C-alpha cells in the first residue's frame, strides 16, 4: 500500500480547501465552554478557542475537570461542552455522554457526520476532509483551523512552494522549531508528530520563543538544525546550523500549521520509513487493543469526507 509523506498530505489538503471552503464557527456564542479533545484535537481546540475564555480538557482529565466545576455548572455559569474529534468515535462518545449527564449542551466538531458521537451530540458541525494515513489528521484539523482564521489556503501553498531548504537539511539528526509566542499552541502539535512519525529515532522539538529562553539550548550540536519562524535567531542552537524563515503579512495559525507540517514531511522523506514500516502493526494490533479487546482494527488510510 502506498502511503504518502506528511508534506504531500499538506499540499493536497491546501488544494482541497482552496476548492472547498470550511464552515465558519462563531466561538463567541459559547460562554465559558469546556473544550475537549484527544491528541491534536485538543491542540486544535486551544487554537480555535484561543480568543475567548474556555476550559480545556482531554480524555485523561475531563472527568475530574467537569466535576471540579460542578458548582459553576449548577449556577448556569458554564453551559456548553465542545468536543473535537476527527472520527467522532473513541473517547468523544463518553465525553459527550458525561457532558449531557451534567446538563451541558454538547457541540461536536468532526469530519464524520454519521459517527457514534454525532448521533448523541446536541449539535454537530461537520468539516470535509481528504483521505489520509492514520494519525496524520492534517485536513481534519486544518479545516477546523481555517474555519476559525479564514486564511487563504492558496496563498499558504504558494508561500510553502517558495521555501529554500538548507543544503544539508537531510543530514541532521535533530530538528527544533522556535515559534513566535502567539503561535505557541502549535508546538505540542509538532511534538505529537515526532512521536507518530519518528518515535525515538529522530529528535524533533518545538518551543515558543519565550519557552526557548528557559535553558532549552544549554547543549548545542552541529547535528541539530534550529528552525525559527518570523524572527532573527541570535541565541538558540549552533550559529552555523540555524534556519530563519520570514512569514508573510497576515499569517495565522493555519499558515504555521501547514508550514511546520510540510517541513516535518520533508524530514520524514529524508529518513528511513519508520512510520510506514510500523503503522500496519499499530492499526491492527496494539493501537485498537489499547481501547479494549473488542475494538475493531483501525484503517491505515482513513477515508475522507469529500462528498
Contact between 118 and 124 under an 8 Å Cβ cutoff? The reply is yes
pLDDT, the chain, mean: 95
The residue ranking higher by pLDDT, 117 or 293, is 117
For 197-237, write each residue's pLDDT tens digit.
999 999 999 999 999 999 999 999 999 999 999 999 999 99
3-state secondary structure (DSSP) of residue 107: strand
User: What pLDDT sits at residue 293?
Assistant: 72
What pLDDT does 294 receive? 75
Mean pLDDT of 59-76: 96
State the Cα–Cα distance between residues 260 and 182, nearest whole angstrom: 15
Q: What angle do CA 85, 88, 89 make, to 5 degrees?
A: 110
For 152-272, give the CATH class.
Answer: alpha beta
Question: Stretch 156-169: mean pLDDT, rounded?
Answer: 97
Q: Where in the chain is the domain with CATH 3.40.50.10490?
A: 24-126, 152-272
Element at 84 (helix H, strand E): strand 80-84
- At 306 the pLDDT is 65
User: Is the per-residue pLDDT at 175 higher than 70?
Assistant: yes
Count of CA atoms in the C-beta half-sphere (13 A) of 306: 13
pLDDT tens, position by position, 237-256? 999 999 999 999 989 999 99
pLDDT reported for residue 307? 47
Confidence of residue 1 (pLDDT cuts 50, 70, 90): low
CA 98 remoteness from chain centre = 24
The CATH architecture of the domain made up of 24-126 is 3-Layer(aba) Sandwich (3.40)
Distances (CA, A) of 61 to 35, 73, 81: 12, 17, 14
Amino acid at each position: 500500500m502506498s502511503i504518502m509523506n506528511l508534506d504531500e498530505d499538506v499540499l493536497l489538503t491546501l488544494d482541497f480547501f482552496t476548492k472547498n471552503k470550511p464552515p465558519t464557527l462563531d466561538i463567541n456564542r459559547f460562554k465559558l465552554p469546556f473544550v475537549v479533545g484527544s491528541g491534536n484535537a485538543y491542540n486544535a481546540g486551544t487554537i480555535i478557542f484561543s480568543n475567548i475564555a474556555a476550559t480545556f480538557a482531554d480524555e485523561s482529565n475531563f472527568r475530574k475537570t467537569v466535576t471540579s466545576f460542578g458548582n459553576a455548572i449548577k449556577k448556569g455559569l458554564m453551559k456548553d461542552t465542545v468536543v473535537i474529534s476527527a472520527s467522532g468515535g473513541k473517547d468523544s462518545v463518553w465525553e459527550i455522554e458525561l457532558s449531557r449527564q451534567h446538563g451541558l449542551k454538547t457541540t461536536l466538531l468532526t469530519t464524520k457526520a454519521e459517527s457514534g458521537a454525532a448521533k448523541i451530540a446536541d449539535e454537530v458541525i461537520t468539516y470535509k476532509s481528504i483521505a489520509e494515513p492514520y494519525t496524520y489528521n492534517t485536513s481534519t484539523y486544518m479545516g477546523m483551523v481555517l474555519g476559525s482564521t479564514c486564511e487563504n489556503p492558496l496563498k499558504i501553498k504558494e508561500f510553502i512552494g517558495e521555501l529554500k531548504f538548507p543544503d544539508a537539511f537531510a543530514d541532521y539528526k535533530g530538528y527544533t522549531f522556535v515559534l513566535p509566542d502567539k503561535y505557541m499552541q502549535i508546538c505540542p502539535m509538532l511534538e505529537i508528530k515526532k512521536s507518530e512519525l519518528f518515535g525515538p529515532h529522530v529528535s524533533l522539538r518545538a518551543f515558543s520563543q519565550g519557552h526557548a529562553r528557559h535553558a532549552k539550548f544549554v547543549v548545542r550540536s552541529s547535528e541539530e538544525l534550529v528552525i525559527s519562524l518570523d524572527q532573527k535567531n541570535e541565541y538558540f542552537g549552533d550559529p552555523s546550523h540555524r534556519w530563519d524563515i520570514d512569514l508573510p503579512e497576515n499569517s495565522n495559525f493555519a499558515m504555521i500549521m501547514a508550514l511546520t507540517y510540510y517541513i516535518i514531511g520533508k524530514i520524514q522523506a529524508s529518513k528511513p520509513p519508520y512510520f510506514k514500516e510500523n503503522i500496519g502493526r499499530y492499526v491492527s494490533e496494539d493501537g485498537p487493543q489499547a481501547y479494549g479487546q473488542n475494538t475493531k482494527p483501525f484503517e491505515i488510510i482513513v477515508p475522507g469526507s469529500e462528498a
